[in-house]
A and B are shown apart, each in its own frame.
Chain A
Amino acid sequence: MSAVIQTPEDREASLAGIGVSRLRKEDARFIQGKGNYVDDIKMPGMLHMDIVRSPIAHGRIKRINKEAALAIPGVRAVLTAEDLKPLKLHWMPTLAGDVAAVLADEKVHFQMQEVAVVIADDRYIAADGVEAVEVEYEELPVVIDPYAALAADAPVLREDLAGKTAGAHGPRDHHNHIFTWEAGDRSAADAAFAAAPIKVEQHMHYPRVHPCPLETCGCVASFDPIRGDLTTYITSQAPHVVRTVVSMLSGIPESKVRIVSPDIGGGFGNKVGIYPGYVCAIVSSIVLGRPVKWVEDRIENISSTAFARDYHMDGELAATEDGKILGLRVNVLADHGAFDACADPTKFPAGLFHICSGSYDIGAAHCSVKGVYTNKAPGGVAYRCSFRVTEAVYLIERMVDVLAQRLNIDKAEIRRRNFIRKEQFPYTSPFGFEYDSGDYHTALQKALDALDYPALRAEQAAKRADPNSPTLMGIGLVSFTEVVGAGPSKMCDILGVGMFDSCEIRIHPTGSAIARMGTITQGQGHQTTYAQIIATELGIPSEVIQVEEGDTSTAPYGLGTYGSRSTPVAGAAIAMAARKIHAKARKIAAHMLEVSEADLDWEVDRFKVRGDDSRFKTMADVAWQSYHQPPAGLEPGLEAVHYYDPPNFTYPFGIYLCVVDIDRATGESKVRRFYALDDCGTRINPMIIEGQIHGGLTEGFAVAMGQQMPFDAQGNLLGNTLMDYFLPTAVETPKWETDYTVTPSPHHPLGAKGVAESPHVGSIPTFTSAVVDAFAHVGVTHLDMPHTSFRVWQALRDHGLAL
């Protein structure tokens, strides 16, 4: 079975392994309409569930009348909190150490909260049933502003927490206070500020937004009353965690719970949490003994499933007169909505927000994040980013711009003066992160050269000198560092489970292979990228490597896909599992070639006897031998499992540049150019990386320029359909220019750092930087997102620049 192709280069090309832009293995089904998403799944006897939701944001439930709904032919059941109480399932624990109502228990806490569920023969009848359920409410005062939530006389939102002076993350000092979390060294930071000649401060709001994947959330729950087992197909980015939680909630042994994430139509953080709809569908299936499908609609998705951000931030920098940053202080008020349902590692209620010292060598820093309850939907997920890293990057990048403006230093130059230098890595940040590798100065210069930055500044100066110019020109620059790949289990866990990830590889007798993973792709192309890693590690063509994820009955336990952890954690698990196989294969090859292992060299896809090119065994030869007649003392077969607990996070970085032209009459911002240089370490599939970057930049563009979830004083969410919630089309979306440098991670087996979230994290402050830069000559240091035409026009008006 030796390869026909002879040269090592040809053989390597035939593997299509690491570094190759090979086409995606998953595409064939998607381009032929044969994807298998949750709503595509049908089971015999399946019923449909729909949800009765609260029209008001805060109130007491006086009465629920199911009669009319139950009278509709085809309605099988209507469940309320009262029905869940005997099962103790009317409340559920959240990932953040709080509890959340599954169905509203006496009180509703936000508009569109789940109040009752209707299970019926089809989704049409279920919808009729929902309309027929009568609920009477007594309205209570609504708290929308998180600052007002902390007033002494603010309404008590969470009556269920009465008397609890401490939560999962320490003391609570007010009935609407959830936690206060601090990092860094307060006294060192204060000392730096006391001694510094220059201090700047800026308040900014990172608005509440929603990840809004094109597929909404849903599940098909099927409890088999005879076997006593539960299978649930679910839109989850973390199916194994769901299995553990479902087992804990339901009392069904984990061995009898099977959770399957089939094809997922985008996640972006929205599909990390466990929603009441899932729990109710599972309960309904157990109660009725039939499969139950629940798929939310878009309004439900935007209104009730996890939002992101909503951080009110105050940043301060202390610096020397020539712009060297000496200290950073940050205070955040975090609006968590009605229940603390953030999806963060247990010990970090504000996620990894303390990456907020960014790419800069800052001597002293401190941050404090205070979480509060309001009458809004719960959430606080990482929308295409690692936990709260987007907020952190936004904060520091904005602050550095503010300082540059104050000192009249160019924003590229001030970054150069403060960057952590190449030789400082590994670098310990003032918050205690150990940055693995970076070369920020080289990347910055590459970016500035690519867009001829001095020429852009000259053009801008000319435009500013012309009072009749119809446009304002703004140049945005960001130099971000992310922390991704959560994470080392000594620091990171979810519900006590360490945030490792896993891989099981099995080489078949004829040399093809299957790998099963604890992660789950939602469009990232895992089935391709992972196969490429194995191809390079084991010399098997990626074409014949099958990658399976998402089925907890077959895949090894893993924490799932979010926070850019798939390549940093699961990718490393693959490499380590492959290396276990490689080590065994070497023993077998040595046996077959009758030499010692030390006499073998590995070359692309084969073990060669050193000094004799004619004597070799390919991995396929070895695979056959391992099943046919393994050497004495070795188990038959060729497979391995690895659970990878990363020694550290990874720290991808990038330099983004953006040029916008703002119409002085309408406030419209046109992105003329956007250049993104990313350094994600080793690049496994450049085509997929570029695609991920395009997508992340587009989501960043949407967040910066239009996404918002405003509430009126009564707690009504304004704009909960795709008419208002901004998802740009091909027409609005700018054209992207991508570039890269490669600084491998020294601690990752492949040197890879993760990439898909960088463009989201990095681009958002770049757009703000560009829009604000257009106004810098009139003294504007900050404008809050979203930079809609309306809001930009208000800035034009306020500064006498509107035409």
Chain B
Amino acid sequence: MIPPKFDYHAPKSVAEAVALLGSLGSEAKLLAGGHSLLPMMKLRFAQPAHLVDLNGIADLRGICLDGDTVVIGAMTVENDLIASDLLRERVPLLGEAARLIADPQVRNRGTIGGDIAHGDPGNDHPALSLVLDAQFVLQGPNGRRTVAANGFFLGTYMTQLEESEVMVAIRVPSFAKGTGWAYEKLKRKTGDWATAGCAVVLRQSGGVVTHIRIGLTNLAQTALRAEEAEQCLLNQPFNEAAVKRAVAAAMAITDPAEDLRGDPEYKRAMAGVMVQRALNNAWARSA
């Protein structure tokens, strides 16, 4: 398994990367962690004439605070999410979920931005970004724009990111006090994509759900936000019956593809199990 020939470019700034994309056009691909792109190239399913490597752009790495919003550089690797004290304090869901992604070595290369921008429904960060109300900062020839995670994912390998753009950062609001969270991921083994995955963020007030986000991984053409399921719980007392309704509503929007992980019936059922477990865990952590 040998990749085809290509030219390699290592820009030192986002502006330089954007300029390269502009001059090289659709023959160019961005290289982030490489753990999706390089295997595709080795299989010769992808044959870009140019690779624009983002690894040398220092500005794209790191996690900092902007007011109450956590700003994560798009090239921040999974292991840095896990290690971040700031995230543990402000958005603990991210580091916790990152532990369920790939394996220790791959987490040293795989980046949050690459995971999101690739648009693969099997990736975990899309659903996580949906439940976190994340916003993505994209830079293109006309400057920067910020788009919400909700609505960003258009189809398998299709997102709002234009070919001429680079994802710069992921902006995530800090959890309000008392926020509960969970990511439940059923997988066959270490390093696998989810058979079904569910992310939940919620808040409560006196036993009533005041804020809820439910996101689903690898259960349709894109990551899904289960808004009907959220409505089953929002402003309701959290109880078994409400959870059951939410589970049913979440399962109803899934459209999983058959593969060796299971058939659609199984995956839909597992979506239900993951949603139920994530809701209960998030609830138990909320205050």
Q: Spell out A's residues near B (CB within 8 Å).
A: 123-124, 127-128, 131, 297-299, 665-668, 706, 708, 710, 718-719, 723-724, 726, 728-729, 731-732, 788-790, 793-794, 797, 802
Chain A neighbourhood of B261, CB < 8 A: 790
B188 touching A706, Cβ below 8 Å? yes
| In contact, A124 and B2 (Cβ under 8 angstroms) | yes
Given A719-B260, A790-B261, A131–B270 Cβ distance below 8 Å?
no
- A127 to B41: give the CA distance in the assembly, Å: 12
Nearest-neighbour CB distance to chain B for A297, whole angstroms, equals 5
From 258 to 278 in chain B, residues with beta carbon under 8 angstroms from any chain A beta carbon are 259-263, 266, 269-270, 273
Residue in B103, B186, B188, B261 with the greatest tally of chain A CB atoms within 10 Å = B188
- Tell me, rounded to whole Å, the shortest Cβ–Cβ distance linking B40 to chain A: 12
Q: In the complex, given contacts A666-B273, A729-B189, A790-B263, what are 16 additional A-B residue pairs having Cβ atoms less than 8 angstroms apart?
A: A123-B2, A124-B2, A128-B2, A297-B1, A665-B273, A666-B186, A667-B266, A718-B260, A724-B260, A729-B191, A731-B189, A790-B195, A790-B262, A790-B266, A793-B262, A793-B266
Interface size on B, residues (CB 8 A): 22
Instruction: Give the Cβ gap from A469 to chain B, nearest Cβ, in Å.
Output: 16
Whether, in the assembled complex, B4 has its beta carbon less than 8 Å from a beta carbon of chain A, the answer is yes
Residues of B within 8 A of A (CB): 1-2, 4-5, 44, 103, 186, 188-192, 195, 259-263, 266, 269-270, 273
Q: In the assembled complex, which residues on chain B have CB atoms less than 8 Å from the CB atom of A706? A: 188-189
Q: Please report the C-alpha to C-alpha distance between residue A797 and residue B262 in the assembled complex, in whole angstroms.
A: 14
Could you jot down 24 A-B contacts, CB within 8 Å? Answer: A123-B2, A127-B1, A127-B2, A128-B5, A131-B4, A298-B1, A668-B186, A706-B189, A708-B260, A726-B188, A728-B189, A729-B103, A729-B190, A731-B189, A731-B190, A732-B189, A789-B195, A789-B262, A790-B195, A790-B261, A790-B266, A793-B262, A793-B269, A794-B266
| Bound-state Cα–Cα, A296 to B261, Å | 27
Residues of B within 8 A of A790 (CB): 195, 261-263, 266
* Residues in A whose Cβ lies below 8 Å from that of B189: 706, 726, 728-729, 731-732
Closest Cβ of chain B to A219, distance in Å, is 19
- CA gap between A789 and B195 in the complex, in Å: 10
CA distance A668 to B189 in the complex (A): 11
Instruction: Give the Cβ gap from B260 to chain A, nearest Cβ, in Å.
Output: 5
**Does B1 contact A723, Cβ atoms closer than 8 Å?**
no
CB of B186 within 8 A of CB of A789, answer: yes
Please give, as numbers and ranges, the residues of chain B lying within 8 Å of A665 by CB-CB distance.
273
Chain B residues lying within 8 Å of A726, measured Cβ to Cβ, are 188-189
B90 to chain A, nearest CB (A): 29
In angstroms, Cα B195 to Cα A706, docked, is 14
Q: Give A729's nearest chain B residue, CB to CB.
A: B190
Chain A nearest CB, measured from B255 CB (Å): 18
Q: B269 and A131: CB pair below 8 A?
A: no
Closest 8 CB pairs of A and B: A127-B2, A790-B262, A729-B190, A665-B273, A297-B1, A719-B260, A731-B190, A124-B2
Given contacts A789-B195, A793-B266, contact A131 B44 (CB under 8 A): yes
Q: In the complex where A124-B2, A718-B260 touch, is A789 in contact with B188 (Cβ < 8 A)?
A: yes
A731 and chain B: residue at smallest CB distance? B190
Cα distance, A797 to B195, chains bound together (Å): 17
Question: Which residues of the other chain, B, contact A729 by a CB distance below 8 angstroms?
Answer: 103, 189-191
Query: Are the CB atoms of A802 and B263 closer together than 8 Å?
Result: no
Chief secondary structure at chain B's binding surface: loop
Contacts of A797 in B (CB 8 A): 269
Q: What is the distance, in angstroms, from B166's C-beta to the closest C-beta of chain A?
A: 28
Kindly list chain B residues whose C-beta atoms are within 8 Å of the C-beta of A297. 1
* Closest chain A CB from B125 CB (angstroms): 19
Q: CB distance B103 to A788 under 8 Å?
A: no
Nearest residue (CB) in A for B2 is A127
Min C-beta distance of A570 to chain B, whole Å:
36
In the assembled complex, the CB of A207 is this many whole angstroms from the nearest CB of chain B, namely 13
B103/A802 in contact, CB under 8 A: no
B262-A723 in contact (CB<8A): no
When C-beta atoms are compared, the residue in chain B nearest to A732 turns out to be B189
Instruction: Among A123, A666, A728, point to the contact of B270 (Cβ < 8 A).
Output: A666
Residues of A within 8 A of B269 (CB): 793, 797, 802
- Expressed in whole angstroms, the Cα–Cα distance for A124 and B41 within the complex equals 13
**For residue A298, which residues in chain B have a CB less than 8 angstroms away from its CB?**
1
Residue in B189, B192, B266 whose Cβ sees the most chain A Cβ within 10 Å: B189
Residue of B nearest to A721 (CB): B39
A731 proximity list for chain B (CB < 8 A): 189-190
A706 to B4: give the CA distance in the assembly, Å. Answer: 33
- CB neighbours (8 Å) of B259 from chain A are 718
Looking at the assembled complex, report how far the CB atom of A331 sits from the nearest CB atom of chain B, in whole angstroms. Answer: 29
Q: Are A128 and B4 within 8 A (Cβ)?
A: yes
Question: How far does the Cβ of B197 sit from chain A's closest Cβ, in whole Å?
Answer: 12
In the complex, what residues of A have CB within 8 A of residue B1's CB?
127, 297-299
A723 to B262 alpha-carbon distance, docked (Å): 15
Smallest CB gap from B103: residue in A: A729
Question: Which A residues are in CB contact (< 8 Å) with B263?
Answer: 790
Residues in A with CB closer than 8 Å to B191 are 723, 729
Q: Are A732 and B44 in contact (CB under 8 A)?
A: no
Measured in the bound complex, the distance between the Cα atoms of B5 and A124 in whole Å is 9
Q: When chains A and B are docked, how far (Å) is the Cα of A726 from the Cα of B186?
A: 16
Please report the C-alpha to C-alpha distance between residue A794 and residue B263 in the assembled complex, in whole angstroms. 10
Name B277's closest neighbour in chain A (CB-CB). Answer: A665
Which residue of chain A has the shortest Cβ distance to B1 in the bound complex? A297
> Cα distance A127–B5 when bound, in Å?
11
Complexed CA–CA distance, A450 and B2 (Å): 52
Q: How far is the CA of A131 from the CA of B188 in the complex (A)?
A: 33
Bound form: Cα–Cα A610–B188 in Å: 67
Which of chain A's residues has its CB closest to B190's CB?
A729
Min distance, Cβ A258 to any Cβ of chain B, angstroms: 30
Provide the bound-state CA to CA distance between A615 and B195, in Å: 75
Cα–Cα distance between A797 and B192 once the two chains are bound (Å):
24
Among A297, A668, A729, A790, the most chain B Cβ lie within 10 Å of the Cβ of A790
A790 to B192, CA, bound (A): 15
Give the docked Cα–Cα distance between A788 and B190 (Å).
Answer: 15
Min CB–CB distance B187 → chain A (angstroms): 9
Query: Nearest CB to that of A665 among chain B residues?
Result: B273
CB proximity of B267 to chain A, nearest CB, Å = 9
B4: min CB distance to chain A, Å: 7
Q: Give CA–CA (A666, B195) in the complex, Å.
A: 10
CB closest chain-A residue, reference B273: A665
Residues of chain A within 8 A (CB-CB) of B188 are 706, 726, 788-789
Question: Cα distance A729–B105 when bound, in Å?
Answer: 14
> Could you tell me the distance between the alpha carbons of A729 and B269 in the complex, rounded to whole angstroms?
26
Task: Give Cα A790 to B261, complex, Å.
Answer: 7
* B103 contacts across to A, CB distance below 8 A: 729
Question: What's the minimum C-beta distance from B103 to chain A, rounded to whole angstroms?
Answer: 7
B266 CB, nearest partner CB in chain A, Å: 5
**B122 to nearest A CB, angstroms?**
10
Tell me the bound Cα distance from A668 to B261 in angstroms.
12
Which B residues touch A710, using CB under 8 A? 260
A794 to B270, CA, bound (A): 12
**Most A Cβ at <10 Å: residue of B1, B259, B263:** B1
Which interface residue of A666, A668, A710, A793 has the most chain B CB atoms within 10 A? A666
Cα of A728 to Cα of B187 in the assembled complex, Å: 12
With both beta carbons as reference points, the residue of chain A lying nearest to B266 in the complex is identified as A790
Q: How many angstroms from the CA of A83 to the CA of B5 in the assembled complex?
A: 29
Give A794 to B262 CA distance when docked, in angstroms: 10
A299 to B262, CA, bound (A): 22
Within 8 Å CB of B5, what residues of A?
128
What residue of chain A has the Cβ atom nearest to residue B276's Cβ? A665
Q: Nearest Cβ distance between residue A554 and chain B, in whole angstroms?
A: 36
| Residues of chain A with a CB closer than 8 A to B266's CB | 667, 790, 793-794
Question: In the complex, A295→B188 CA distance in Å?
Answer: 29
CA distance A794 to B1 in the complex (A): 37
Give every chain B residue within 8 A of A128 (Cβ-Cβ).
2, 4-5
Closest residue of B by beta carbon distance from A719: B260
Rounded to whole Å, the gap between the CB of B28 and the closest CB of chain A is 21
Q: Give Cα A797 to B270, complex, Å.
A: 12
Contacts of B186 in A (CB 8 A): 666, 668, 789
